[in-house]
Amino acid sequence: MPVPRLELVASLDLGPTVDKVKNDIALDFVHYSLLRDAADAKLYQLMGHLHKTGSPHAHDQHAQEQLRKLQDACLRVSHLIQTSCLALRRVQLSAKDQDLARQTLEAQVALLQACLRRSRGSFDQSA
């Protein structure tokens, strides 16, 4: 993503879009793509701030590498969620099994959110 576009996308207020997600509203393709691009832009912005500190400390480099790995993992998880849902659609589940599948997928995402809330406390003084 070119730097001016990266800065523009990183500056977007994602609050309304994130609120839709929290309220269990499915995003259309445009909003989903915008959220994905903005998430990537914010990650690149954070990595840029870490790099600008000029500190050659291994901790800074390790943090940047971990952020890159997180980005890759999020992309992979997103893809796996989509392919799992497609596979479940092909199985033609009963209503009861659809409910179980929905609960299962939501539980997996809730686990990720819980991990974020717990882990964020190690650096976030406002948490």
Least confident of 40-44, 54-58, 84-88, 115-119: 54-58
Instruction: Say what the pLDDT of residue 52 is.
Output: 72
Inform me whether the pLDDT recorded for 19 exceeds 80: yes
Picking from 60, 53, 50, 21, the residue whose alpha carbon sits closest to that of residue 38 is: 21
120, burial (CB in 10 Å: exposed 0-12, middle 13-18, buried 19+):
exposed
Q: Residue 75: how many CB atoms within 10 A of its CB?
A: 12
Q: How far is CA 102 from CA 3, 84, 96, 108, 121, in A?
A: 39, 11, 10, 10, 29
**Domain boundary assignment for the chain:** 3-91, 93-127
Question: Model confidence at 13, in pLDDT bands (50, 70, 90)?
Answer: confident
pTM for the complete prediction?
0.77
What pLDDT digit, counting tens, does each position of 64-122 carry? 899 999 999 999 999 999 999 999 999 999 999 999 999 999 999 999 999 999 999 88
Q: Residue 117: how many CB atoms within 10 A of its CB?
A: 11
Question: Model confidence at 3, in pLDDT bands (50, 70, 90)?
Answer: low
Query: What is the distance between the alpha carbons of residues 42 and 114, in angstroms, rounded to a whole number?
Result: 21
Assess contact for 41 and 1: CB atoms under 8 A.
Answer: yes
